[in-house]
Amino acid sequence: MHPNIKGMAAALGLALLLAACQTQTAPRPGGGPGGGLGPQPTAESGTVAGFVVNANAGEGVPGSAVAAYEAGTDNLLGTTTTASDGSFSLDVAAGAVDLRFEKEGYAGSQVLNLRLDEEGVTRIAVIQREAFNPDWPTTPPQVTLGKVADGNVYEAAFGFIPYDVTVSPAAPLTTDLIYAALGKTPGSGFITGYRELFVSTNATGDRFLDPLRYAAAGPTTFQVVAYDTNGNRTQLFRYVEVSVPFINDVDLVPPELRSVMAVTLNKQIGFFSVQPQA
């Protein structure tokens, strides 16, 4: 082969090699809204653990399949199954997760956008009811929370946090209950205290929540829980902050511990019965 041809061939090969390397390492264009790199994986990790129970003061649900996903995606991070007492634990590599719970004969349950504590265990109690009709859909309803986003800061002195909730159950189901609360998981008023409640509607419309009613201050959560008519449940977290400037000059004294209440998961409470047991 002529020397010039050998040189041209070598140069062409080098150019192709460099092009291939650039193709493999270059960012994927348009990876997120408006282009750019799009969502990037994080090195954050943590442990999520808790109990799955069939009611606010109910029995543990054993044998429920638990799946953890990177929040807002279908990127599966890990799976496990609840133990005989309904407990579970998962180590996952993500800053926030979505949890899904499935068991034959039971309604579906999911927890969305649960932020993990990198320095400890993030604990949560999850309700998974028996399905009202096992032949009906057991897919948790889709929940959209408007006007409230992670990182929002609200001035408590101005009184109200605007929000709206829309729930989309799987057909032919309809929405049974929508709860909303600040700084806690909302549910039955007997168990969880004050909360916003909407019955038999798929949308709350424009609403306002008063942070002073919940005694919320500093970093906290805005939580929504929705049930459909088959008992399927979705719990949604948003991480916000409530600014209460006038408490800075107040000396806060911790309350004196006068009594302790314990709840056992051994036997479900029979409300309004002659001999309720807990």
Q: Which domains does the chain have, with CATH numbers?
A: 43-130 (2.60.40.1120), 135-247 (2.60.40.10)
Average pLDDT over residues 220-235: 98
Taken as a whole, the chain contains a residue count of 278
C-alpha 254/C-alpha 256 separation (Å) is 7
The confidence score (pLDDT) of residue 37 equals 29
- What percent of the chain has a predicted confidence (pLDDT) above 90? 59
The confidence score (pLDDT) of residue 107 equals 98
Tens of pLDDT, residues 125-167: 999 999 999 999 999 999 999 999 999 999 988 779 999 999 9
**Which pLDDT band, with edges at 50, 70 and 90, does 40 fall under?**
very low
Q: Average pLDDT of the chain?
A: 80
H-helix or E-strand spanning residue 18: helix 3-25
Instruction: Say whether pLDDT at 256 is over 60.
Output: yes
pTM of the model: 0.75
Average pLDDT over residues 116-121: 86
Instruction: Say whether pLDDT at 30 is over 80.
Output: no
Q: What is the DSSP string of 23-54?
A: HHHSPPTT-STTSSS--------EEEEEEEES
Tens of pLDDT, residues 64-96: 999 999 999 999 999 999 999 999 999 998 799
The confidence score (pLDDT) of residue 8 equals 42
Question: Given CA atoms 155, 156, 160, 164 in this order, what sign does their dihedral have?
Answer: positive
The confidence score (pLDDT) of residue 14 equals 40
3-class DSSP assignment, residue 100: strand
Instruction: Say whether pLDDT at 117 is over 60.
Output: yes
Q: In this predicted model, which residue has the larger pLDDT, 181 or 257?
A: 181
Closest CA to 210 of 175, 251, 162, 159: 159
User: How many other β-carbons are positioned within 10 Å of the β-carbon of residue 51?
Assistant: 19
**Which pLDDT band, with edges at 50, 70 and 90, does 245 fall under?**
confident
Of the candidate ranges 146-150, 238-242, 243-247, 270-274, the one whose mean pLDDT is the lowest: 270-274
The confidence score (pLDDT) of residue 22 equals 37
* φ/ψ of residue 158, rounded to 5: -90, -10
Instruction: Say whether pLDDT at 178 is over 50.
Output: yes
Query: Helices (H), strands (E): how many in the chain?
Result: 2, 15
**Which pLDDT band, with edges at 50, 70 and 90, does 252 fall under?**
low
